[in-house]
Structure 1
Amino acid sequence: MMEQSVQNTWRKSGLYSIMKIINMGLISIMSLFAILTPAGSGTSVNFKVLLLGAIILLNLFTIIGYFLNGENLANTLLFVFFPLVLLIISSTQVEISKVLASDYVFLYMWVLPVLIRYNINFQRIFLFAIKITAALIVISAFLDKFGGVGVYSNPILTFLDTSGNAQVSVSANAIFGYVIFLNASPLILILLVQSLSAKNFLYSVLAVLGLFFSGTRANIYMAIVVTVLFLIFYVKSPVIRLGVIMIIALVGLRFGSDFMQRVRSINDAKINGDSIRNETVPAIFDSMRQNPLSYFVGNGLGSSYYSAARGGVTQGSEWSYFELVRQMGVAGAGVFALILLRPLQLLKSRETMWLGWSYVGYLVIAVTEPFIFTSTGFLLYLFLYYEVYQIGVKTLTHSAPPLSVFR
């Protein structure tokens, strides 16, 4: 009772309100930079990391208290001890600077206690950053299409492209004419599912167009599949459902052949890239055969390997899950799998089922895209773990307040 009284007094104090506003501002800006510039580039990556460091230093005692609490042992093992073990093992094989450049992403999960402490609506922050991403893609395509600013002369896209945070092109081979692929564009799938669930037509259209104009086959296919399945199975009115099925059938008959022709065209155009990607897998395992111990502990975070298909040494490829095994070994990848699988409990709650299924879609896309071990990926995990926590809070009795995790 005394602890609850102290917590209530603290939450009503002016200092609490000030700290909450400061943290919300820092987390919002950091999230936007982490999503728009996951690969970083000069000042952008420094700014992103500086913001993360500022949040951690500002809330150091809160974070320490959270991870020292026995109730949070699982998160302590996954986000404190596991990255520390990876750091120690990797530093025996790879330059420490390269290891730190990879290992630091675990620090994004240290923001979780801050979100809990100040009851910050991180869903709003996270979805807003994704809306900015989708809007940037769609507006850029429309500006090019209707004679405003061309894709190749768009200063924002040029910056993102040259810094390795986007791939931009206009091509007749592209299914919808554009490839405006921002590295975080697969996250738009989450916005799509959330908007459909909330019956928000405007953001649903924005999300679909964002995925279409991103230009990648995985994004386009997932956008179509998710939209069709939602309209068929989640629309309650049988009349509307029948109408939707008829509209889908008519659209398929009218535009299906043209769409498939474009799909065949882009498949033909991508055949060389697909071949290079497929030939990378043997190169990954060849690099591990040089040291049999690598199968267990990996080659180390930030390590490089030779890929004949790519014509030189590379630090990574599109095969996210194979790259995890290469860098962490079977043991480390197994532990990391726990990090990826725990948020699937969101599927158990009707309120968060939309998020659980969109996360499943993200994991599917990540099979052939390098999205798992990045700042964007960890920002997503932060969002998911906070939503899991929120579910737990709603099931607690009044005798177990949310801030009890800081005892």
Structure 2
Amino acid sequence: MLVIPIYEKNYKFKDILYYLLMGLAGITVLLVLADKAGVFNVNGNNAIRNFVYNTDMGVMGKSPEYAFYYKVFFKTSPLFVILLYESLKRQQFAITLLSVLGLVFSGTRANVLIALALVVIFIFKQQGMTKPAMIVKCLAIFMLALILLFGSSLIIEKLTSMMSSKGATYSDSIRIGTMESYKHLFSHAHNILFGTGMGSEFYNLGRSDFEASAEMSFIELVRQIGIIYTVLFVGGILYPLKGHYSILVKLTFIGYLFIAATNPLLYSTTASIIYIYMYLTFFESQAEKPLPQINRSNVKGEEYEL
């Protein structure tokens, strides 16, 4: 419902979102750089870290057990995929770098893998570039080829290390336990069809505690509202993909959904922002469709003045 007044009133939603995400990505990178310089401690008892935790905005810390050592994750960090796309569309490559660093420093494997995949796809798919942008694109392709040629073994080693870090292993063990809980719940047909109720708790074997939500968003949605309403909900959020606009926007949205699949980001305020973004893109594409042309050679009889 929020899409209609935003679209009708012509609010600069995308521009506002772009600059807000730019600021948040900048804060993420600055916090990490400040920690590196020794002027701030992401693990310390300080006003910024306390504010983040007291307002439940995200998590902040550093540890060898994390996949990328640093984890400065805000609940809106996955929206950096929008910043990544918009910056490439606007050919503001410094902001592209900022968005990638923001996703990397957020510390989650899904964010990083999706960011890297999108960058590679964008490099090869982006069209209509200016001459400087084409030079950047050619250099990026050349550097990518060199990395794949000479650094493939190092890349495999880093990916293996990322996937098998203590933090990643702990997260995977939680998900395995959560899946066991789902298997038990879904052994009853009515839980699959109608769910156990929005906001209801279940005993999560992965955490050995009762929880009202879990990280596996799509399955968690089925648990809460059942398969029937889940299909309707997913159909609603996927509907904008039928619009006639850049495939890169659609890939950005699909990338977010992959991130949301392993994080509680499918039905939240963060999710609502990207849903509004996609519906606005869809409506804009519909408004830009050309009117059908009349083939006058097939029109017989008198001509009428319109």
TM-score by length of 1: 0.64
- Within 2, Cα distance between the matches of 1:252 and 1:119? 45
Quick one: which of 86, 89, 113 aligns to 2:4? 113
Quick one: which of 57, 76, 87 aligns to 1:165? 57
Distance 1:383-1:229 versus aligned 2 partners, 3 A rule: closer
- Within 2, Cα distance between the matches of 1:242 and 1:125? 31
- Within 2, Cα distance between the matches of 1:133 and 1:257? 34
The equivalent of 1:361 in structure 2 is 255
The equivalent of 2:161 in structure 1 is 265
Q: Please tell me whether residue 198 in structure 1 is matched to residue 198 in structure 2.
A: no
The equivalent of 1:126 in structure 2 is 17
Quick one: which of 44, 47, 61 aligns to 1:155? 47
The equivalent of 1:24 in structure 2 is none
The equivalent of 1:306 in structure 2 is 203
- Within 1, Cα distance between the matches of 2:196 and 2:125? 45
What SS does the aligned partner of 2:61 have?
strand
- Within 2, Cα distance between the matches of 1:229 and 1:382? 24
Q: Deviations over 1:292-311 (max 9, x none)?
A: 32221111100010122211
Quick one: which of 385, 390, 393 aligns to 2:279? 385
- Within 1, Cα distance between the matches of 2:154 and 2:42? 24
1:175–1:263 Cα contact (<8 Å) kept = no
1:288–1:298 Cα contact (<8 Å) kept = no
Percent identity over the alignment is 28
Matches within 5 A, 1:241-252: 243-252=139-148
Q: Deviations over 1:195-237 (max 9, x none)?
A: 1122111210110110111111111111212212222343678
The equivalent of 1:46 in structure 2 is none
The equivalent of 2:73 in structure 1 is 181
| Structure 1 residue runs without a partner (length 5+) | 1-109, 398-407
Instruction: Letter of the 1:272 partner, please give it.
Output: Y
Instruction: Letter of the 1:361 partner, please give it.
Output: G
- Within 2, Cα distance between the matches of 1:175 and 1:271? 10
- Within 2, Cα distance between the matches of 1:177 and 1:117? 45
2:72–2:105 Cα contact (<8 Å) kept = yes
TM-score by length of 2: 0.83
Instruction: Letter of the 1:345 partner, please give it.
Output: K
1:296–1:331 Cα contact (<8 Å) kept = yes
Q: Deviations over 1:306-340 (max 9, x none)?
A: 12221111111111100111111011101101112
Distance 1:374-1:239 versus aligned 2 partners, 3 A rule: closer
Q: Which deviates further from its counterpart, 203-212 or 120-129?
A: 120-129
- Report the aligned-residue RMSD: 2.5
Instruction: Letter of the 2:237 partner, please give it.
Output: L
Distance 1:327-1:139 versus aligned 2 partners, 3 A rule: same
2:18–2:86 Cα contact (<8 Å) kept = no
Instruction: Letter of the 1:132 partner, please give it.
Output: G
The offset of 1:384, in angstroms, is 1.6
- Within 1, Cα distance between the matches of 2:49 and 2:175? 25
What SS does the aligned partner of 1:181 have?
strand
| Structure with a larger share of its residues in helix | 1
What SS does the aligned partner of 2:198 have?
coil
Q: Please tell me whether residue 213 in structure 1 is matched to residue 112 in structure 2.
A: no
What SS does the aligned partner of 2:288 have?
helix
Q: Deviations over 1:144-181 (max 9, x none)?
A: 11122221245333322344331222123445431111
1:288–1:299 Cα contact (<8 Å) kept = no
The equivalent of 1:283 in structure 2 is 181
Q: Deviations over 1:351-393 (max 9, x none)?
A: xx33222001111222211110111111221222122222222
2:191–2:226 Cα contact (<8 Å) kept = yes
